[in-house]
Structure 1
Amino acid sequence: MAFEFVGMLPFILLIVVAVWQCVLIGYAYSLVGNAADEAAREGAVHGDAACDAAGRKYISGGWDNVTVNCTPSGNLYKATVSMNLRVLFRGFDIGVPITGHGGSLNELEED
Structure 2
Amino acid sequence: MRASGARTGSWRRLRPGPRLALPPRSGTYAQERARRTPRDHGQTTIEFVGVTPLIILLCVALWQCALIGFTFILAGNAADVGARTGTGAEWGQRAACVEAAKEDLPSAWSGSAWVECDGNGPGLYRAEVRLKVPILVPGVLNWDFSVEGNAASVKEG
Normalised-by-shorter TM-score class: over 0.9
Q: Does 1:44 align with 2:87?
A: yes
Match of 2:53 in 1: 10
The aligned amino acid for 1:50 is A
Q: Does 1:61 align with 2:104?
A: no
Decide which structure has the larger Cα Rg and report it: 2
Q: Aligned-residue CA RMSD in angstroms?
A: 1.0
TM-score (norm 1): 0.92
Summarize the alignment of residues 1-111 of structure 1 with structure 2, pairs less than 5 Å apart: 1-46=44-89, 47-63=93-109, 64-72=111-119, 73-89=121-137, 90-107=139-156, 109=157
The aligned amino acid for 2:155 is N
Higher relative contact order (CA 8 A, sep 6+): 1
User: Where has structure 1 moved over 2 Å in runs of 4 or more?
Assistant: none
Question: What CA deviation, in whole Å up to 9, does each residue of 1:53-85 have, x standing for no partner?
Answer: 111012111124101100011210000011111
Structure 2 portions without partners, runs of 5+: 1-43
Structure 1 portions without partners, runs of 5+: none
TM-score (norm 2): 0.66
Q: C-alpha distance in 1, partners of 2:107/2:63?
A: 20
Question: What CA deviation, in whole Å up to 9, does each residue of 1:33-71 have, x standing for no partner?
Answer: 000001000000111111011110121111241011000
What is the percentage of aligned positions where both structures have the same residue?
36
Number of matched residues?
108
Determine helix, strand or coil for the equivalent of 1:62. Answer: helix
Deviation at 1:86, TM superposition (A): 1.4
Higher strand share: 1
Higher helix share: 1
